[in-house]
A and B are shown apart, each in its own frame.
Chain A
């Protein structure tokens, strides 16, 4: 469980986040949405301890984030950031293996090797294992990074949950891989100790897959909860200045949005 209690953050007197309170539970997919400049990335950075909260606190498994060492965090929490550039020739498996670095000292154990292979097979990059990472397409690179962060939290930690935090993971993917990725993430959540948090731009994907939608606007959480409760006409119009048509999908207990 990752719980965020009344967290604020500002830089040079400009308030980027204000009074944010929410919780991310195991077995749930929480997706953060909001317009550009709403504070989504700042929020993710606070969750990852890249920025310290000015007020409030963030507790991971009941313990403040500050109390963890870098390595302790690396063992139970994986983060995928938005854009990653690599200037060096690296084999695909070498990139994925980096996910296991927090878990071994000098040489990867059999467990580490197994996690690398399993994660690569899970995201369909096993066939590229020996290819040079820098020659892959954007979508292929993104899938390799999925495998990397997944193998980082492949095994359940000794205590507490494992966390997967992703900032706009769908950016380089075509529609097929977007859906495939979301389904695979949902499958991962069958592990009862897995917490997955993501930022997405596609509101319909968020509606379709999220167990919890968090709508951020102007540095505060405007609404959070089930997609049908958050993605209402008034919420969307207030946040995006665009009037949607909201269709209720009763069978899936979700909504579809259209913009005119």
Chain B
């Protein structure tokens, strides 16, 4: 008798190793290079609470390390969100932002900048992410509520179309905000909608760590049900899945995970689209594999993009969203071409 299973075990250690190497590289190199020795002493001092850190040790502990970790976690969240949304919409060219999460977050942030300028408060470490998160939750909630009523009730198509409409609404909202904003706020909005990893504090790392691990853990429990969705929503129901409950759970997991990540970094596109695609070409469509490998791969890809963003225009840095788009768009078009050839 044949044992049906695929062997994914070989790819995980490879991805973990690559991720560690890339992360170390991104910590070590930048506007200033941190010697490995300094990393050791900084960590030693941090754990023994010795308060006499040197400048390089402080750069390492307060800037490089949290930034590198945040990058990995945000990349993982976005890629896992991409896996979930593609499975849920039964469509391999879907992004986590599709249900309004990213545009909602961007609108929340833009509104915050504009109101801040009017009422004279400035972006705090907490208030901006909170505003973004609120925007994301409102937009996604709207998509969800609207798609559960009306003719397209409970269908994936309905959700998709509602998502497109709400996205358009919130993107024009962002446009309006940057139109009425004065110069510094307008710049902030632009910067935020292009994504930035420079806000990587330990608080951000802790929050995104908790949200991404919890959400990916919950999503893994649904991986089999998501597999069934690949052959159809009715089919999944015939094979014992309560698709309505599953859709709610997956959307909730996705909005928490992506909104939290987006709240601290701004809009970073294409990671959630490209990563699951690449992995599917490599090893097929099993969602359990895609979630685990996708998280690792997403962290890896965003780390690489961050290295590029910091190295290319030293000592300044490019917005990370520009780097992911510049890399992502050609890859995406290649994938589309490949896809259409398949169908011919």
Question: B-contacting residues of A (Cβ < 8 Å)?
Answer: 48, 50, 69-75, 77-79, 81, 84-91, 93-95, 97-99, 101-102, 107-108, 110, 113-114, 116-117, 129, 134-135, 152
In the complex, what residues of A have CB within 8 A of residue B5's CB?
Answer: 107-108
A155 CB to nearest B CB, Å: 15
| New contact pairs (5) apart from A74-B241, A84-B235, CB-CB < 8 Å | A71-B240, A89-B280, A91-B284, A99-B239, A110-B1
**Known contacts A79-B238, A98-B239, A101-B239; A87 and B230 CB within 8 A of each other:** yes
In the assembled complex, which residues on chain B have CB atoms less than 8 Å from the CB atom of A134?
A: 342
Residue pair A50, B234 in contact (C-beta under 8 Å)? yes
B227 contacts partner chain A, Cβ-Cβ < 8 Å: yes
Asked if A90 contacts B234 (CB within 8 A), the reply is: no
Contact in complex: B1, A94 (CB < 8 Å): no
Residues of chain B having any CB pair with chain A under 8 Å: 1-5, 90-92, 224, 227-228, 230-232, 234-235, 237-242, 280-281, 284-286, 342
Which residues of chain A are near B285, meaning CB under 8 Å? 88-90, 94
Q: Which residues of chain B are near A75, meaning CB under 8 Å? A: 240
Closest to A118 in B: B1
A78 to chain B, nearest CB (A): 7
Q: Which residues of B contact A88 (CB under 8 A)?
A: 92, 230, 280, 285
A117 cross-chain contacts in B, Cβ below 8 A: 1-2
Contact A152 B239 (CB under 8 A): yes
Asked if A113 meets B230 with Cβ closer than 8 Å, knowing A88-B280, A98-B239, A134-B342, the reply is no
Please, which residue of chain A has its CB at the minimum distance from the CB of B244? A70
- Assess the B237–A70 pair: CB atoms within 8 A: yes
Are A87 and B92 within 8 A (Cβ)?
Answer: yes
B237 contact set on A, CB distance < 8 A: 50, 70
A76 to B198, CA, bound (A): 55
A224 to B213, CA, bound (A): 58
For A78, the chain B residues whose CB sits under 8 A away are: 238-239
Decide yes or no: A90 and B230 within 8 Å by CB, A108-B4, A113-B2, A117-B1 being known contacts. yes
> How far is A152 from B281 in the complex, measured between Cα atoms in Å?
28
Inter-chain CA distance A108–B5, complex, in Å, is 9
Chain A residues within an 8 Å CB radius of B239: 74, 78, 98-99, 101-102, 152
Q: How far is the CA of A199 from the CA of B3 in the complex (A)?
A: 35
Say whether, besides A87-B230, A98-B228, A113 and B4 are in contact (CB < 8 Å): yes
Q: Which of B91, B227, B280 is in CB contact (< 8 Å) with A101?
A: B227
Q: In the complex the two chains form, is B242's CB within 8 Å of A70's CB?
A: yes
- If A91-B284, A98-B231 touch, whether A48 touches B238 (CB-CB below 8 Å) is yes
Would you give the shortest CB distance from B3 to chain A, in whole angstroms? 6
Give Cα A243–Cα B280 distance, bound, in whole angstroms. 54
Q: In the complex, what residues of A have CB within 8 A of residue B90's CB?
A: 87
Nearest CB in chain A to that of B86: its residue:
A88
State which of A81, A99, A102 has its C-beta within 8 Å of the C-beta of B232: A81
Residues of B within 8 A of A90 (CB): 230-231, 284-285
Write out the residue numbers on chain A whose beta carbons fall within 8 Å of the beta carbon of B238.
48, 73-74, 77-79, 81
Q: Is the CB of B284 within 8 A of A94?
A: yes
Chain B residue at minimal CB-CB distance from A68: B240
Can you list 29 contacts pairing A with B, beta carbon distance less than 8 Å? A48-B238, A50-B237, A69-B240, A73-B238, A74-B238, A74-B241, A81-B232, A81-B234, A84-B231, A84-B235, A85-B232, A86-B231, A87-B92, A88-B92, A88-B230, A89-B285, A90-B285, A93-B4, A94-B284, A95-B231, A98-B227, A98-B235, A99-B239, A101-B224, A113-B2, A113-B4, A114-B1, A129-B2, A135-B342
